[in-house]
């Protein structure tokens, strides 16, 4: 399949690495492709975003929060699906067997997905919002409660984020996940360049992509420093509650900045992208040919029939 697109084409199509697979999300549908000994296990999903149901949710500075929710919900579901495919031959645990005996399998799956979604929100808030606020609170007598204190909290947040990525990147199981992440980036790069989506063509492209979620998370870290600087409370509980309350503003601003940075290619945007691109050295690895094949399969399935519908 040959894609004839201009060289500076930027697509909204993006993906997520799974357990031995890739989720690719296009403007109209998503594709989950899991690599198994029997071949590719594929699941295609018609995507209806919240902003498609309620037009007001697609307005600037609002859409970012709900786009993140849609991506998180779909991503956790895809990760659960890929895990089930890989582990379907393994014996079920006692807890899972007990739950399925007491409830229907569908209810158990929905409950587990809801719990995973809850953890997917709770863990980042605790690790990257509350913990930095607590640690910075120990220095309140030294640096005060103003901008300097908030700057220190932001630096602690970035350090925790970096340590987290380094620690995760050293886990053997995650190395393969990050290789699939690299395959996803290479495939998207190849598609944007207008090259035919073949293993040989995809392999030659870089594994770091400027519109990666890792880069977006780093933008969130920086924007949070600016937004949280308006919160100058000495009471630690109120301060942390306001941090959580301000999260939608942080995400909304970060989303808009990410859209602008992703759309243009100049000195300013390159500087803004640089930290996130560097961090992708930790979150991506060079994939093998089978991983590239999975990425091509997933990407091909979500390219819209109407050319340009996925333009960034």
91-106 confidence digits (pLDDT tens): 555 545 555 555 555 6
The pLDDT-based confidence of 2 (bands split at 50, 70, 90) is very low
Averaged pLDDT, 114-143: 69
For the chain, the helix, strand and coil percentages under 3-state DSSP, each to the nearest 5: 65, 10, 25
Mapping DSSP to helix (H, G, I), strand (E, B) and coil, where does residue 41 land? strand
Which tens digits make up the pLDDT trace of 218-258? 888 889 888 887 777 777 778 778 888 898 999 999 999 99
Nearest to 290 by CA among 13, 83, 26, 34: 34
- pLDDT for 139 equals 67
Which tens digits make up the pLDDT trace of 256-297? 999 898 888 889 888 888 998 999 999 999 999 999 999 999
The pLDDT-based confidence of 109 (bands split at 50, 70, 90) is low
Q: What's the token pair of residue 81?
A: 């699906």
- pLDDT for 115 equals 55
* % pLDDT > 70, the chain: 84
Nearest to 184 by CA among 305, 294, 302: 294
């Amino acid at each position: 399949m040959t894609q004839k697109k201009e060289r500076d084409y930027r697509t909204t199509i993006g993906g997520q690495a799974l357990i031995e697979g890739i989720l690719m999300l296009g403007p109209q549908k998503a594709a989950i492709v899991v690599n198994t000994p029997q071949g590719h296990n594929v699941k295609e999903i018609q995507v209806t975003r919240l902003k498609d149901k309620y037009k007001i949710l697609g307005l600037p500075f609002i859409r970012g929060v709900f786009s993140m929710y849609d991506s998180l919900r779909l991503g956790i579901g895809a990760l659960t699906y890929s895990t089930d495919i890989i582990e379907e031959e393994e014996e079920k645990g006692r807890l899972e067997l007990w739950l399925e005996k007491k409830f229907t399998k569908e209810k158990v799956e929905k409950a587990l997905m809801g719990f995973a979604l809850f953890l997917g929100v709770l863990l980042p808030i605790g690790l990257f919002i509350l913990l930095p606020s607590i640690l910075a609170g120990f220095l309140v007598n030294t640096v005060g409660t103003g901008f300097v204190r908030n700057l220190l909290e932001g630096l602690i947040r970035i350090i925790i984020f970096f340590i987290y990525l380094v620690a995760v990147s050293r886990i053997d199981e995650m190395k393969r996940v990050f290789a699939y992440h690299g395959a996803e980036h290479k495939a998207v790069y190849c598609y944007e360049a207008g090259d035919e989506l073949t293993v040989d063509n995809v392999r030659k492209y870089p594994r770091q992509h400027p519109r990666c979620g890792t880069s977006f998370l780093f933008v969130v870290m920086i924007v949070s420093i600016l937004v949280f600087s308006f919160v100058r409370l000495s009471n630690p509980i109120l301060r942390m509650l306001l941090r959580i309350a301000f999260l939608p503003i942080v995400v909304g601003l970060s989303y808009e900045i990410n859209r602008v940075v992703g759309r243009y290619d100049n000195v300013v945007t390159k500087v803004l992208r640089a930290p996130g691109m560097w961090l992708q050295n930790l979150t991506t690895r060079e994939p093998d040919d089978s991983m590239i094949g999975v990425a091509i399969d997933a990407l091909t399935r979500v390219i819209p029939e109407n050319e340009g519908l996925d333009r960034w």
